[in-house]
Structure 1
């Protein structure tokens, strides 16, 4: 199978698996226990924490979580005051914000343009003194556009608000502005294991606990950490750093190959071509039956939209937010590729996608 769904999850790096195996096979101690085995487990967790922190701004601490969903919930529910966010955020942000709104917290959701980018004048008008939190995604998970996080952070700070950056898709790929106050990341989006993420918290920023119990993580997060997951996350983060230039050049070659081939066949890019992370290619073709395309191409793993919302039957809220009609949104596909995608397999997959889409037109 050709795997082209990197925004949903990435293949586990062999180096991450190798780092995890000893903690799964024979080193089973609780890292919060005081005995020698527990101290060894804790040392492994702290080493991983440093590896993850190496790709984050200075002047903050990394708190491990069960994933980015927990990290985002923690950041939003653990702060106070009115919230400003964007219409194309992940459900982990939008649904959490809606829950806070139901409890009486004021919320403003800013629209985006056809390119998927926020209007900074609109943001300036919304982020006023008294605002508590500005939340925005660095790289959008559906259309890959890169938001002006540094500009939004400046507006937030001018109003006395905190800046939360959902950096899940950008971590290790796109620089995270040093002016963020809270940053959510995930292990399985960087060739690490599922089930672990982190919330980076700037020094001096207080976030109330989301989970209560032992308070094992210094900022107040409770729960026993898995040394295996932590070490896998850390190894994956180190690879993102050491392979940064190699990975970026490879993704650029893949982007040119895929986008040139599809655009020549009448496919239209959804969202801005720049600024955009080029490992995400979201396109549409008029009249395309995406469900049939997915069925016809069972040996290619790709998405009809965000994997987090697939199966709902609803058009993507991101594609609707950038002005696409229901029909245009439903005729869109998302291709995600990266480190382990070869040029040959991508070229073959693009040819198969084009042929299957053309066959639908002939049949019609």
Structure 2
């Protein structure tokens, strides 16, 4: 294919335009990702452009990843952590024309996927995200920058929702009336979180913050988890960010774009596999308070995502891409249905958690 990336970027890593081939890959919507193959030795790499519209401090992200990589290299040298490689000049990224690029090792013999098809995948993914946090249990989170401010701050998301509600056109508020009432009713989730927020039993940890299934690599032959990828949002947070987002995205067979709410059901085997996989790594370091909040983590993250979709709808759908005008409203309805399923199944789900903990 024709090289569409500046030669200065390629040359920063010791290649030339005529010694590599490039192929755009990945399903992510934020960063552009390419498979870079060296024509000299057939080695493969991942070349990625950092989206500075979303990540406004790319060097803060690079410093975060390097700090974690250095710590893991010292304390757990056998752990596979695919951190970006330095340029020939020793820089953490290559920059050209106000664009920032990084080169990462390609992990041979692995694959990533977008949709869960069996419980083993949920178990392995949850185990990998849990393992990363466990290995960083003693890491000083204060040295890490916040790559996206207020990313998983539910109180802030609720404030954004109420502000959008006060500013929204009458017709949008009318269309969303029932969903708005549901959002307001569930404000108690914010209050419940705040009652724990500053507890010493609810510590900040190094969290991945984007635990969708496509951010885990599995072994191509065994389907066993190998490592986690996409480390832009690696920053301090609460354990509920990672486990809660896995509960949000692994439990239902349908994504937030599904409009038939009758299809939004919790798959109990996937819930058990997710919790079991996560606790296989994290049970030994979670505090009693954190263990109490395992199911709440799912409610927290589902409610927050519902608020985000509803807020965007009320603002005229300026953030999430849409294919029809009411899509963000339908996405909010989808997530509120999932939230109701968590509450309705609470006894069963809590019993599963207790069994996993024991």
TM-score (norm 2): 0.22
Relative contact order (alpha carbons < 8 A, sep ≥ 6): 1 or 2 greater? Answer: 1
Give 1 or 2: higher helix fraction.
2
With the length of structure 1 as denominator, give the TM-score of the two structures. 0.22
